[in-house]
Amino acid sequence: MAEGEAQRILGALQAFGPILSIKLYRLTLDPAPAVPLLPCLDHEAMLHATVAPHIAVYIQDASSGDLHELVFVPERHLIEVDIVSTWGEHSTESTQRLNALLASRFKDYRVKVDGPSWWRGERRVAEACRAQVSLRDVLLGDDLASVKARVDRLQTVGTLMEKQSRVTSWGVRTMTGPLLAATGVITYLALGRLRLTLGETQVSTMQTAVVGVAGAAFLYYGMKAVQLTEMANRVWKRSAEYSLILAERKRLSLK
């Protein structure tokens, strides 16, 4: 059922423009179209099967050349428009044309726009990736060797980001306990001398507040370390996806 619906989706999208690449999760296409086919790395990396089968496509607007990514989840009758993966590659006018096509060809589907997440640092990830290589070059560039060199450079950046996140995480794990304990001891000793002046209740409140603020600060830096790790993983996965697309383009050109 899902495979047949996937074929119908691909046929309907031809009215908008050429499909440049397809990502599949727990789906197969038979016959397979002559475009780069690759797994959906984001969900394959989760190591579980609770995500519904879906198909994601990179598609080019035939009238403007703009690029879009669409994710179709047939089981949930859902279309996700990912504007982060195609950051800087499409205009408002092209997006409006795409929305009009989706509304006319997929009336039984709900459309959801996936914008950049602040917590996951997706805007920064998109800008870091574009600084090294553009999605347009990966999908349409003629000099595959040059594009591959830039993708390799992006992968190096992702690896360095991951190592930096390890340093930050190690620092937070190593220092949080001792510093928080020292802060608590110093706070209780220093404020304890004011019990006779301020009273037991007020001093206890101040001690709790100081230790709480210190704990919140360490928690914040710990969460920032986690965020940096997430961003590094996304940069690395983007470079891996680009490498797979280039490998598929090369394979198809040799047929």
- Residue of 163, 173, 171 whose CA lies nearest to 229: 163
76 lies in the same domain as 190: no
Same domain, 109 and 144: no
Q: What would the two tokens of residue 151 be?
A: 């993708």
Range of the domain at 137: 120-255
The verdict on 165 and 184 lying in the same domain is yes
Same domain, 94 and 128: no
110 and 132 in a single domain? The answer is no
Rounded mean pLDDT of 132-149? 95
Is the same domain home to 87 and 195?
no
Strands 110-114 and 54-60: unpaired
Number of domains in the chain: 2
Structure pTM?
0.80
Identify the band that residue 2 occupies on the pLDDT scale cut at 50, 70 and 90: low
Percentages helix, strand, coil for the chain (3-state, rounded to 5) are 60, 15, 25
Of the candidates 56, 87, 115, which is a domain's last residue? 115
Q: Which of 80, 115, 150 is the last residue of a domain?
A: 115
Q: Which residue has the higher pLDDT, 26 or 220?
A: 26
pLDDT at position 121 is: 79
CA 64: distance to chain centroid? 26
For residues 161 and 201, membership in a common domain is answered with yes
Task: Identify whether residues 89 and 133 lie together within a single domain.
Answer: no
Please say whether the beta carbons of 39 and 25 come within 8 A. Answer: yes
Q: How far is the C-alpha of 80 from the C-alpha of 56, rounded, in Å? A: 9
Q: Which of 94, 115, 136 is the last residue of a domain?
A: 115
- 8 pLDDT exceeds 60? yes
Could you give the CA distance from residue 214 to residue 179 in angstroms, rounded to a whole number? 9
pLDDT tens readout for residues 114-140:
888 777 778 888 998 999 999 999 999
* Pairing relationship of beta strands 37-39 and 19-25 according to DSSP bridges: parallel
Shared-domain flag, residues 73 and 169: no
Same domain, 39 and 133: no
Cα separation, 171 vs 221, in Å, equals 10
Residues 149 and 253 in one domain: yes
Residues 141 and 108 in one domain: no
